[in-house]
Structure formats: structure tokens, C-alpha cells
A = this chain, B = another copy of it.
């Protein structure tokens, strides 16, 4: 069996040969500037092994991947009370759909669609100024990545604020249903900034270690969440992490994952490894096209699917 590093090198070579790379998201103007030829993959195993290939040190906008971390933070803040305000079911609709919200009276289906993540941001804002809440998210990202160089890209945050009318619609809609405790623009301030966290694949794979390892980071000795909570976040990533492409991702790749419109995916092999992949072009469902293919090949070659007899 080839080594993990050999497998990653192989995959990077295969992806470089792909001509169909999807479309780079352009609805946030800053994101549209990214080079579609970029590709990176990084794996951090529970046993300490680290392997990476491609542009694995280059930061990109993690966008919705940040929702995994804000969920962990918000659960730490209010515990299972969060589930009174957000559901735990796949949405069956696009990431920014408002239809579901009307039919279900302002309760977003899960914390990974935009409406749900806005409610999570609202929880993080409780008792804080937006600046403080944003600082707390950044500090958390640095802790889990064990890297103080992680930053928030203000240009991306501002670009999204200037064009994110659908998110303003969602936040106002939530407010209209009484499911937002702060002014929409305040809550969205937190939301746009945590989506604008920039990380490399190596940083992101490190940041996901606690989910692969029952809530703990062995290297730093931190317990981030309980093992039960880690398990449950993984379950949510599996059922809801790829919007209306979550079933397909489970079917093909077979591990929990959360995608971002910047082309990144964080994927977790519980008990084994945390994986980050990045390719800016998106498929029709809004998930990284080559990132998904790369992860499918990786889990197959390593026999890492959680649905397989390992």
C-alpha cells in the first residue's frame, strides 16, 4: 500500500490533469479573483502523521466551513438550548433558500445553511459587541489550528457585506419571526467576518483535529468539546455539510465534510484523521468540484469511508 504522502501526491497530479474544474464563485466579488488552477490537500492523522500536497500553505477564504467552528462555540455557550432555534435536518434546498424558513416559521433546518448559521452568530453575539464576538471566533480558530497567524480577510468581509442581500433578507426574516435577538446588521457583522477567515489547508486540517479525536487535541492538550459533541457535529456535517449535495457526498465520499463557497472542504475520518482540500471551482450544488473528487479518491484508496467495513 502506498504511503499517505504518495497518495496525496498522486491525487494532486491527477487533479492537475482535470480540465473540467467548475466555476469560481463570483457573487462575492473578492472571491471571484482567485486563480481556478489552485489545488491543495492536507491530512493530519490522530497518530500525529501530517501529509500535504499542492498549495497547502496558501490561505483561502474558508467561508461556510467556519460554520462548523461557530457551531462548536455556540454549543459551548448555550448547550442544547441552541436546538430550540435551529433544526438538525438536511434542507432539501439551496444554501440560501428562504422558502423553508417561511414554511417552518423561522426555524432554520440546520446550522450549516445560511439562515441557521446566522442564528448561531446571533448566539455568539449575546452579551458582546460585534467586535468582541468576531475576536472570539478568530481566537478560537487560532486555538484549534494552534497557529496565531490565522486572520480574517476584511476585504472579503466587506465585499460580502456590500453584496450579501440574500443574507440580509434571511436575517430580517429571522428577526420578523422573533428568531434573532440582535439587529440584523449586527448579527450579520459577526456572520460576514467569520465567513471571511482565511486559512491554508494545513491550518484547516489542524483545526479539524478535535473532531477526528473525540473532541481533544493531543498535541496541545486542549479538550475543545466533549466526545459526544464531536460525534454529533460529525453527524451534522455528514447529513447537512454540503447543502443539497450532502446525500451525494455521503454516497460518493462517505465521511463527514463541510464545504465552503471559497472552494475548501474540511472532512473528518472519526478516530483517524482530519482532512482539508481546496480547489476554487464549484459544481452545480455549490461545492468544490475537484475537492469532492479528490476526497472520493482519497477515502477509497485509504478505505476511510465510515460506511465501509474497515
Chain A residues with CB under 8 Å of chain B are: 46, 87-93, 97-103, 109-110, 165-166, 168-173, 175-176, 184, 212-214, 227, 230-232, 234-236, 238-240, 244-248, 250-251, 254, 256, 270-271, 305-310
What B residues does A245 contact at CB under 8 A?
89
29 of the cross-chain contacts (CB-CB < 8 Å) are A87-B247, A88-B247, A88-B251, A89-B245, A90-B247, A91-B92, A98-B99, A165-B172, A165-B184, A166-B172, A168-B168, A169-B170, A169-B171, A169-B176, A227-B308, A230-B307, A231-B307, A231-B308, A232-B251, A232-B254, A234-B307, A235-B254, A238-B250, A238-B307, A239-B250, A256-B307, A270-B309, A306-B306, A306-B307
At the interface, is chain A mostly helix, strand, loop or mixed? helix
Tell whether A90 pairs with B239 under 8 Å between CB atoms, given A165-B175, A184-B165, A247-B110: yes
> Residue of B at shortest CB range from A248?
B88
Greatest chain B CB density within 10 A among A46, A93, A98 is at: A98
Give the docked Cα–Cα distance between A91 and B173 (Å): 19
Establish whether residues A90 and B92, one from each chain, have CB atoms under 8 Å apart when the complex forms: yes
A247 / chain B contacts, CB cutoff of 8 Å: 87-90, 110, 235-236, 239-240
Set of chain B residues within 8 Å of A236, measured between Cβ atoms: 247, 250-251
Q: In the assembly, how many copies of this chain are there? A: 4
Residues of B within 8 A of A100 (CB): 92
> Which residues in B have their C-beta under 8 angstroms from that of A171?
169
Q: Which residues of B contact A256 (CB under 8 A)?
A: 307
Distance (Å) between the CB of A100 and the closest chain B CB? 7
B-side contacts of A251, CB under 8 Å: 88, 232, 235-236, 239
The answer to whether residues A227 and B309 also contact, given A90-B247, A236-B251 and a CB cut-off of 8 A, is yes
Residues of B within 8 A of A244 (CB): 89
Query: In the bound complex, how far is the Cα of B88 from the Cα of A308, in angstroms?
Result: 18
**Candidates B173, B270, B309; contact of A165 at CB < 8 Å:** B173
